[in-house]
Amino acid sequence: MTKKAVCVCSGGIDSTLAATIASNEGYELHLFHVSYGQRAEASEKEAIEKIAAYLDAKTIKFVEIPFLKELGGSSLTDLKRKVPIGEAVSLDKERATPSTWVPCRNLILLAHASAYAEVISADAIFVGFNAEEAMSYPDNGKEFVELYNVVLEKAVASYCQPPTVKAPLVDLFKPDIIKKGIELKAPLHLTYSCYLGEEKHCGVCESCLHRRRGFEEAGVDDPTVYL
Ligand SMILES: [Zn+2]
C-alpha cells in the first residue's frame, strides 16, 4: 500500500527539503500550507504550487488560521511591528525571543496537520524543523517533536494508527541543509524564504540572512535574486 505523508510546507528551503526526503523515501506527498496572517503568505503559496509540481505531489492543502493573525504578538503577523532587518537573530530584550516568534505556531500548525493526516490516513507528517531554527525557536527542536509524537498517540481516534511526525533535518544547520538539498536534488531554486513577502527576497531579514549565509557557507551558487 502506498505510504502517505502530509508535508507541512512554508515554501522555504527546510520544509521543501523535508518534502523531498519524504518523496525519496517513497511517500505519496500531500503538501500542507498554513496561512496565519504572515506577511509572506501569497509568495509562499506561489512557491508551493511550483514545488508541488516539481515533486509530483498528489495534493496541496491550503489552510487558514485567522486566529493567529488576530492574536498578533509577532512581527510576522502584526504589521505595526517591524521585522528585524540586518541582524542574524534579533532578540527581544525582555523576552530573549525574536520578535518574529509566532505564539505556539508549530504546535498549532501540527495540530491542524495531524487532523488532516488522520482523515486521509497518512502514515507520517514531515516538517522542516532544524537545529538552526531551534536556537531561536523551541518548537523546532528534537524534544518538541518527540513529546508531540507522544501526545499524538492519544490525540487521534482509537481505530487509527497515529501518524508520526518526522523531522529529518532536526540536527542540521543551514549550510548542511543546503548541501543535502543539492545532493538530493531538492528544488531549492523554487523556494521562498523572505519574511517580508515581496516578489524578490529582501536579502536582509533574518530569514534571508540565514538563506544567504547557508549558500555561502555551503560553497554553493545561490540561485536567489535579492533586491
Ligand atoms: Zn527577506
Between CA 13 and CA 151 the distance in angstroms is 28
Q: What is the pLDDT of residues 118-133, one digit of tens each?
A: 999 999 999 999 998 8
CA–centroid distance, 13 to ligand 1, in Å, is: 13
Ligand 1 centroid, distance to 84 Cα (angstroms): 10
d(CA 224, CA 202): 10
pTM of the model: 0.92
Nearest CA-CA partner of 40 in 201, 190, 188, 198 = 198
**Residue 81: its pLDDT value, please?**
80
What was the pLDDT predicted at 80?
A: 80
pLDDT of residue 89: 55
Protein residues with C-beta less than 5 angstroms from the ion ligand 1: 194, 202, 205, 208
Q: Looking at domain 3-82+103-192, which CATH architecture does it have? A: 3-Layer(aba) Sandwich (3.40)
Q: Give 201 Cα–ligand 1 centroid separation in angstroms.
A: 5
Task: Measure 67 CA to ligand 1 centroid, in angstroms.
Answer: 24
Pull the grid cell for residue 77.
Answer: 503577523
4 CA to centre of ligand 1 in angstroms: 33
Alpha carbon distance 91, 104 (integer Å): 17
Strands in 68-215 per DSSP E: 124-126, 164-166
C-alpha 62 to ligand 1 mean position (Å) = 23
What stretch of H or E contains 4?
strand 3-8
**What's the N-to-C CA distance of the chain in angstroms?**
46
How far apart (Å, rounded) are the C-alpha atoms in residues 114 and 118? 6
The CA 141 to ligand 1 mean position distance, Å, reads: 23
Cα of 20 from ligand 1 centre, angstroms: 23
Nearest to 199 by CA among 225, 220, 221, 168: 225
Q: What is the pLDDT of residue 176?
A: 96
CB 74 within 8 A of CB 106: no
pLDDT score of 87? 63
Distance 194 CA to ligand 1 centre (A): 4
Gap from CA of 69 to ligand 1 centroid (Å): 20
Spacing, Cα 210 to ligand 1 middle (Å): 9
Those residues with Cβ within 8 angstroms of residue 84's Cβ, 6 or more apart along the chain or in another chain? 75, 90, 98, 99, 100, 205, 206
**Eight-class DSSP state of 48:** H
Residues in the chain: 227
Q: Enumerate residue ranges in the chain where pLDDT < 50.
A: 91, 93
